Structure 1
Amino acid sequence: MDQQLQVFVTVAELKNFSRAAEKLHMTQPAVSQYIRSLEQTMGSKLLERSNKFVRLNQAGEMVYYHAKEILGLYAKMHDLIDDLTNKASGPISIGASYTFGEYVLPHVIKNMHQHYPLIEPTITIGNTSKIANLVLSHQIDVGIVEGAFHDKHLVIEPFAEDSMCIVAAPNHRLARKEGNVSVSELEKETWIVREQGSGTREVTEKMFQSIGIDPEKRLEFGSTQIIKESIAAGLGISLLSYWAVRDESARGSLSVVELNQLPVKREFSIVLRSPFQTKALNVFLSLLRAFGSESPRELE
């Protein structure tokens, strides 16, 4: 059954029998036979086929979703058994929310690669909600998310603290102001915020509530990098992580706005689904926890 599912998932993702056969090192008739056998087992057609396209029907969408989860569990089981006799090695799939994934995770991966070169990480970047859902569906081994995240089906372990700061262009009037800015001044500004489901968006909304403002002028962007570029271009201000702006702050291309209520704190958390972990994953988790115990807490 696992071979049928693997063939089916490959065809569904490539949307082509010939390309799937090539990727799987099989003949096209063999691929077709696996699909027919799976459809017979399921008692339903799973793919709509023509000379121009191959796509999932409604039943196929259901099978594809669960097939990904089953194959992920199968691979994890195999890795766990392999770990009983071998060193830390093999694949681990890591998901991280944007701030940690883009600005911190590369340094952790570099450290792991130097000491454990046989571990093969794959990285998925998304907002906190997406990463948690991938862990829930067993499509990734571990997630790193931002903010106060809760889910009764997941093991959530805070491991590092992050400082958030208001950022503006160096020539922005708030950046040039001596001393702390007032709350009323902040409310008049255009705020550039992340999308719903983002940990950064969550902490931004909490800051608005805590200081009692509700800015009318807002722009919503789906990437921290786009927000930084927009701030530098003078479009507005934003609340961003220390990690995301430390290089620009040091170079002077972005400025931190002084406010008595800042910095706002939030946590980075490890998110797991399974209580069983491969040696490779245990190594990665140890490196994350070591990073958390050593990471700086404030803007330097």
Structure 2
Amino acid sequence: MSDFRLKVFLCVARNLSFTKASRELFITQPAITKHIQELESLYKTRLFERLGNKISLTPAGELLMEHSERILDDYKRLDYEMHLLHNECSGELRLGASTTISQYVLPPFLARFIEKFPHVSLSLLNGNSRDVENALLEHRIDVGMVEGIIRLPNLKYATFQKDELVAVVHTRSKLAKLDEISVYDLYNIPLVLRERGSGTLDVLETALLANNIRLSDLNVRMYLGSTESIKLFLENSECMGIVSVRSIARELAAGLFKVIDIRYLEMQREFSFARLQGEESGLSQVFMQFAAHYNKKL
């Protein structure tokens, strides 16, 4: 229902590349150019400055980008709410989610989605972020929810929630007497971390490298395959763990764990939907719209 030209323009504006927009939208580059030219003719102004092989937005282009994002979001919300009037969705939806998301984020969404769309059959594949992305590439799931910062070129990502990693110890640990440490203190502290391929470890490695610290230089006692395993390990050791703050809310409230601030170590990340490039409709889209709608109410 929405003006496809706005979608084309927004894709070019975000990528600042006609070629990338062509690949992302699966239409030819001449078609991309035609849609942009139609918009420029309609508004009697140039939307992009062309400097050799590079382009940039003109002031008019920046204004149109701002409005296009809002207009296309409104169209998505309209489609979503019109479908809600009839609960008309049915069929099979195969989801995949990283361990942290499947345990601490997704269950409330699933419960409400099933309640709203009782005729949709849901299944969930659980693994680390690399497992979920591979399942998408192999067409074993329809939509994935992943963490971390690594992006695969054949997949399309959309931010769903923000998250933060924190350093945590059990309150019985000797380390619990600390309130704050320097990032360089990590050389001497025994650590228990998530396994290779997890989004959690990806974010930690990137944050360490920003401080010229390699993960291999640290005293990692154990790599474990789930946050729950790390929490149980911490209860019986003098180690420090790095986990999502969402995963320890109950333990913090109960006084079982303590967060230790690490100076100069920024460990922000995003939870994202992941799909195969070019897949825009169907139950996957309905689920993502539902989750985004629910998330805004939190």
Q: How many residues were matched structurally?
A: 210
Q: Are 2:95 and 2:143, in contact at CA under 8 Å, matched by a contact in 1?
A: yes
* Distance of 1:148 and 1:292 partners within structure 2: 21
Q: Are 2:166 and 2:245, in contact at CA under 8 Å, matched by a contact in 1?
A: yes
Aligned to 1:127: 128
Question: How far did 1:163 drift?
Answer: 1.1
Question: How far did 1:171 drift?
Answer: 2.0
Give the AA of the match of 1:286. Answer: Q
* Distance of 1:118 and 1:263 partners within structure 2: 43
Q: Are 2:129 and 2:146, in contact at CA under 8 Å, matched by a contact in 1?
A: yes
Aligned to 2:96: 95
Give the AA of the match of 1:270. Answer: F
Aligned to 1:153: 154
**What is the TM-score of this pair, normalised by structure 2?**
0.65
* Distance of 2:167 and 2:293 partners within structure 1: 28
Distance 1:155 1:217, change over 3 A: closer
Corresponding residue SS for 1:257: strand
Give the AA of the match of 1:255. Answer: K
Aligned to 2:163: 162
* Distance of 1:86 and 1:169 partners within structure 2: 46
Give deviations 1:144-170, integer Å, cap 9, x for gaps. 010113122111112211111101111
Aligned to 2:183: 183
Question: How far did 1:294 drift?
Answer: 5.0
Equivalent positions of 1:236-255 (< 5 A) are: 236-255=239-258
Corresponding residue SS for 2:262: coil
| Higher share in strand | 2
Corresponding residue SS for 1:150: coil
Distance 1:86 1:234, change over 3 A: closer
**What is the TM-score of this pair, normalised by structure 1?**
0.64
Distance 1:217 1:147, change over 3 A: closer
* Distance of 1:294 and 1:167 partners within structure 2: 29
Equivalent positions of 1:39-54 (< 5 A) are: none
Aligned to 1:70: none
Distance 1:205 1:129, change over 3 A: same
Q: Are 2:168 and 2:243, in contact at CA under 8 Å, matched by a contact in 1?
A: yes
Question: How far did 1:212 drift?
Answer: 4.4
Q: Are 1:181 and 1:258, in contact at CA under 8 Å, matched by a contact in 2?
A: yes
Which segment is superposed worse, 212-221 or 159-168? 212-221
* Distance of 1:184 and 1:263 partners within structure 2: 14
* Distance of 2:262 and 2:238 partners within structure 1: 20
Distance 1:164 1:292, change over 3 A: farther
Matched, 1:261 2:264: yes
Equivalent positions of 1:105-116 (< 5 A) are: 105-116=106-117
Aligned to 2:209: 209
Give the AA of the match of 1:250. Answer: A
Question: How far did 1:263 drift?
Answer: 5.7
Give deviations 1:249-282, integer Å, cap 9, x for gaps. 111112111233356210111111152432x323
Distance 1:266 1:276, change over 3 A: closer
Aligned to 2:119: 118
Aligned to 1:142: 143
Question: Which of 215, 218, 225 pairs up with 2:221?
Answer: 218
Aligned to 2:196: 196
Q: Are 2:207 and 2:266, in contact at CA under 8 Å, matched by a contact in 1?
A: no
Q: In structure 1, list runs of 5 or more residues that go unmatched.
A: 1-82, 296-300
Tell me how large the CA RMSD over aligned residues is: 2.2
Q: In structure 2, list runs of 5 or more residues that go unmatched.
A: 1-82
Corresponding residue SS for 2:251: helix
* Distance of 1:111 and 1:262 partners within structure 2: 36
Segments of 4+ moved more than 6 angstroms? none
* Distance of 1:248 and 1:148 partners within structure 2: 27
Give deviations 1:163-183, integer Å, cap 9, x for gaps. 111011112233222x42233
Distance 1:243 1:269, change over 3 A: same
Give the AA of the match of 2:281. Answer: Q
Q: Are 2:94 and 2:141, in contact at CA under 8 Å, matched by a contact in 1?
A: yes
Corresponding residue SS for 2:140: coil
Aligned to 2:69: none
* Distance of 1:211 and 1:180 partners within structure 2: 17
Give deviations 1:82-132, integer Å, cap 9, x for gaps. x9x991122100000010011111111011122222222100001111100
Question: How far did 1:291 drift?
Answer: 4.6
